[in-house]
Amino acid sequence: MLQEAASNILKFHDDFKSRIDVRLRDYPLMEGPVPMTSILLAYVLFAVFLGPRLMANRKPLRLNTAMIVYNFCMVLLNAIIVYEFMMSGWATTFTWRCDLIDTSKKPETLRMVRTGWLFYISKFIELLDTVFFVLRKKRTQITFLHVFHHSFMPWTWWWGVALTPAGGMGSFHAMVNSAVHVIMYFYYGLSAAGPRFQKYLWWKKYMTAIQLTQFVIVSIHISQYYFMEDCNYQLPLWIHLIWIYGVFFFLLFSNFWVQAYIKGKRLPSKDDKPTQNGSTSESIPVVANGKHLENGNANTHHHTNGKIIFGKVKEI
C-alpha cells in the first residue's frame, strides 16, 4: 500500500514537472515544486521553533544598517518589477480588461515571463523580514498570519508562474502589489534610519488607505471577468482565487481602519516619541501581504489599567 502510494506521488510529481512552462523551466527554483517547498518548510521551522530558541538566551541584535540597506534594495527591486510589468504588457499591449495568457515566444511575452518569475523570487527575499524579527527578538511580530502569508504566497505563486508565466489579467495584482511595496519598504527604510527621520514619517497613517485602495483596484479589475460574455481565460481558477484574496483582505483592512481611526483605538498620541533604534512608540496601522507593516522597525505599547498591551498590525 505504501509503495503504491509513493509510486503514485512520484508519478504525479513527474507528470506535473512535464507541465511546467518550457519558457522558464530552467529558471532557478522552477525545476519542480520540491525545492521551493523545502525552503518554505525550513522557513516555517526557523520562524516558529529554531529561530526563537536560538535567540532565547541571547541579546537582540541591532541591525539598523542591514535593515536600511535591505529595505531600500527592496524599494529598487519592486520598482523594477512594476516597470517591467508595465513595459511587457500593461502599458503597451494589454487592454486592462480580458487579457489572456500569452503562450508565444515574442520578446515582449518573454519579458513578462521573466517579470512574473522575478516577482515570485521577490517573495523569497521577503522572508528576510521574519529573519530580522527573530534576530531582534520581536516575537510579537511573528504571528500566524505573518508566517502563513510569507510561506503561502511564494508557494502559490510557484504554481501560477509554472503554469501561466505570462498570466494576462491574472498578473495585474502582482504589479499593483509591487507598487505598494515600493511605498511600504521606503517607509521601512526611513523608519530604520533613526529618530532624525521621524519627522518625515507623518504619512504613515495613510498606508492603510493605500492598502485598501490596492484591494479595491485589484478586486474591481478581476471582477470584470464575471461580467464579460466572451472572456475565455485559460485558467479561471486563478481569477477566483485573486478575487477571494482581494475581498478578504479588503474586509480585514477595513475592520482595522474602523478600529484605528473611527473608534480611535489606535490613534497616535502627541507624546509618541522616536526610540533609540529609530522606531516609533506606536503601531503602524497597515497590513500588507499578510505581514506586519513594521518589519522590526516599530514597537507598540499602550498602558491600560496598569497593564501593557502590545499592539501589532499585519501587512500584505
For the beta carbon of residue 197, count every other beta carbon within 10 angstroms. Answer: 14
Phi and psi based region of residue 310 (left: phi greater than 0; alpha: psi -120 to 50; beta: remaining): beta
Q: The pTM is what? A: 0.81
Q: For all residues of the chain together, what is the average pLDDT? A: 82
pLDDT tens, position by position, 36-94: 999 999 999 999 999 999 999 999 999 999 999 999 999 999 999 999 999 999 999 99
pLDDT tens, position by position, 192-245: 988 888 888 888 778 878 888 998 999 999 999 999 988 999 888 889 989 988
What are the residue ranges spanned by the domains of the chain? 32-315
What is the CB-side half-sphere exposure of residue 216 using CA atoms within 13 A? 8
Q: Do 149 and 316 meet the contact criterion of CB atoms below 8 Å apart? A: yes
Phi and psi based region of residue 168 (left: phi greater than 0; alpha: psi -120 to 50; beta: remaining): left
13 is catalytic: no
Instruction: Choose the catalytic residue: 13, 146, 149, 240.
Output: 149
At 204 the pLDDT is 77
